[in-house]
Amino acid sequence: MLDYYNISDQYSEEEKLVASTARSFSEKYVLPVIEKYYSAGQFPMDLIKIMGELGLLAVTLPSKYGGSELNYVSYGIAMQELERGDSAIRSFASVQNSLVIYPILTYGTDEQKNKFLPKLASGEFIGCFGLTEPDFGSNPGGMLTTATKTNKGYILNGAKMWITNGSIADVAVVWAKFEGKVNGFIVEKGIPGFNSIEMKGKHSLRASVTSELIFNDCLVPLNNRLEIEGLRGPLSCLNQARYGISWGAIGSAIACYETALNYAKTRIQFGKPIASFQIIQDKLVWMLNEITKAQLVSYHLGRLKDKKIDRPQQTSLAKRNNVDIALHCARLSREILGANGILNEYPIMRHMANLESVKTYEGTHDIHTLILGADITGIDAFS
């Protein structure tokens, strides 16, 4: 796999093992079937248990809760390999690792941790994360979903939209306003007043389940509230997921680059392989250049995270840059394949379409521009 600066030589033995485990998983279980699931608009449910057994759903979770207890570089490496298969597989793992296990581990009570974490780690339970609403995407602080407290529990009312894994989830981490402040609640499948509907008609992330969650006087037990208040709760989870996405996007970019390179070396036009033409080489070198830079950014960010000296804005830079270059790699690769580039015989259009979602979710490209702009100028341009 593309590693022009031999970054993987810097990996520990444990990190190398994660790379080979996740790579073989993608090659053995994802690549042979993904086009079929993508076309059908379905998630390959039978892969969940295997990911759980391989430790890919709870990479950094302590082993006492059934996790792999590895570092953030390992988590990133795993996300890169999964997304080389498909963004939907990485999305599933991102949500489980960063958006469901992380908040329960970080803000949950011992009872919540013991009840939910082992089953989430093994894949017996599927999780989802409900922050976005129909009218509040980039600006989650405006959310309308509310929680009110009664003797019996918290009553949730409102709706969440675009929720990955929503209608297949056993456990939803849902953010709602309680007494005017954003709070997190663990909502279990099947409780009265909680419904989910799968969203159809996506041209992107077709192998991922995306759903609407509806709360209609939904009674959540008193002990299912997380111990965190304010928007920093959900945003702290996003820091973890955005970091993983920065690695994942490199996986998509590499899949496109390698397809284009192999194609260019064998496709003959004007009596020569198209790889011999300078314009084709320029496109390939642009990809090599940007993928290598992206790998260095994510690898170094992982080391910062492992030392706990990272800043959220550094994650914004990595997510923003890496998804953007990955999308551009997909477009250049598609051009190199000419008409063949649009066929599902090759993975390029699938990655290109997926990356359009990845560019939007977890903070759009432009929102990350504003986060970085505010950081360097001291001036907040959001409103």
Of 11-19, 69-77, 107-115, 159-167, the segment contacting ligand FAD by CB under 6 A is: 159-167
Of ligand TGC, ligand FAD, none, which one does residue 163 interact with (CB within 5 to 8 Å by kind)? ligand FAD
Of ligand TGC, ligand FAD, none, which one does residue 333 interact with (CB within 5 to 8 Å by kind)? none
Shortest Å, Cβ 205 to ligand FAD? 4
Of ligand FAD, ligand TGC, none, which one does residue 101 interact with (CB within 5 to 8 Å by kind)? none
Of ligand FAD, ligand TGC, none, which one does residue 141 interact with (CB within 5 to 8 Å by kind)? ligand TGC
Of 51-59, 124-132, 150-158, 251-259, the segment contacting ligand FAD by CB under 6 A is: 124-132
Shortest Å, Cβ 139 to ligand FAD? 6
Alpha helices, DSSP H, located in the chain: 13-25, 34-40, 47-53, 72-85, 87-94, 102-107, 110-122, 232-266, 278-306, 312-336, 348-360, 365-377
In 3D, which of 86, 8, 38 has the Cα closest to residue 251? 86
- If one asks whether residue 366 binds ligand FAD (CB under 6 A), the answer comes out as yes
Handedness of CA 44, 30, 8, 291 (dihedral sign): negative
Contact residues toward ligand TGC (CB under 6 A) are 91, 94-95, 129, 131-132, 138, 140-141, 164, 230-232, 235-236, 238-239, 241, 312, 361-363, 367, 371, 382
C-alpha distances out from residue 27 to 60, 83, 113, Å: 23, 11, 33
Shortest Å, Cβ 130 to ligand FAD? 6
Site string for ligand FAD, 324-363 (x = CB under 6 A): ---------------------------------x--xxx-
Cβ-count burial of 377 within 10 angstroms (0-12 exposed, 13-18 middle, 19+ buried)? exposed
178 forms beta bridges with: 147, 181
268 forms beta bridges with: 273
Handedness of CA 184, 220, 61, 318 (dihedral sign): negative
- What is the bridge-based pairing of β-strands 127-130 and 171-178? parallel
C-alpha distances out from residue 260 to 47, 117, 189, 263, Å: 28, 41, 44, 5
Closest to ligand TGC by CB, 138 or 216: 138
Task: Kindly identify the residues of this chain, within the stretch 90-119, that bind ligand FAD according to CB under 6 A.
Answer: 95
Shortest Å, Cβ 276 to ligand FAD? 40
Out of 178, 364, 373, 374, the residue judged to bind ligand FAD by CB under 6 A? 364
- If one asks whether residue 131 binds ligand FAD (CB under 6 A), the answer comes out as yes
d(CA 354, CA 19): 22
The reply to whether 362 belongs to the active site is: yes
User: First and final CA of the chain: distance in angstroms?
Assistant: 43
Task: Kindly identify the residues of this chain, within the stretch 200-239, that bind ligand FAD according to CB under 6 A.
Answer: 205, 210
Binding site for ligand FAD (CB under 6 A): 95, 129-132, 137-138, 162-164, 205, 210, 357, 360-362, 364, 366-367, 370, 382
Instruction: Give the catalytic positions in this structure.
Output: 362
